[in-house]
Amino acid sequence: MIGALLAGIITGTLGGLASIIPEAVRLWALAPITAVIMLFELAGRPLSLPQNRRLVPQDVIPRADFSGPLQFGFEMGTGVRTFTPTALPQLLVVVVVLAGGLGPGLLAGLGFGVGRTLMPLARALSGDPRQWDTRLLASTAWVGRLCAIGFLLALALHWT
């Protein structure tokens, strides 16, 4: 969560710097990027963008003292270990940089950190982590579609 907040501060600061570019130019640059990523996501074929394709070691996640989810969130939020099956987190950074600012950057970092912390926590508390993994893998495309729809709704709310 701390790593995600730090990423949010950096992203928000970059958004402040991007404000020297006229808003119309930023929005015209953002529209095609968003459209392409959303089309792939909603089709159930998310784009795979460049990333550090190392996973957090499996022994980190199930720790009983809850340090596992914290370490997981820190490593994912700071990019030390990054493996995302979708381009939505990168799109979020682009949106915050081009259209956001410090406040949206902090909220994005907080939301990303909470989401990345809740996933291993839910897995650990499920009672059967292997079955949880199986259910998640079976529904990955639908989870991506729901996240894309939520992303579009958030964008629409931001610009209304």
Query: What residues does each domain of the chain span?
Result: 2-158
User: Could you read off the pLDDT of 45-104 as tens digits, one per residue?
Assistant: 888 776 666 666 767 766 667 777 777 767 766 666 666 778 888 888 788 878 776 777
Q: Return the pLDDT at 44.
A: 85
| Residue 77 near residue 114, CB atoms below 8 Å | no
| Tokens 């020297």, located at residue | 20
Span 21-26, mean pLDDT?
Answer: 81
Confidence at 2, pLDDT banded by 50, 70, 90: low
pLDDT at 5: 58
Is the backbone of residue 47 left (phi > 0), alpha (psi -120 to 50) or beta?
Answer: beta
**pLDDT at position 39, please?**
92
Separation of alpha carbons 94 and 14, rounded Å: 10
> Rounded distance, CA 143 to CA 141, Å?
5
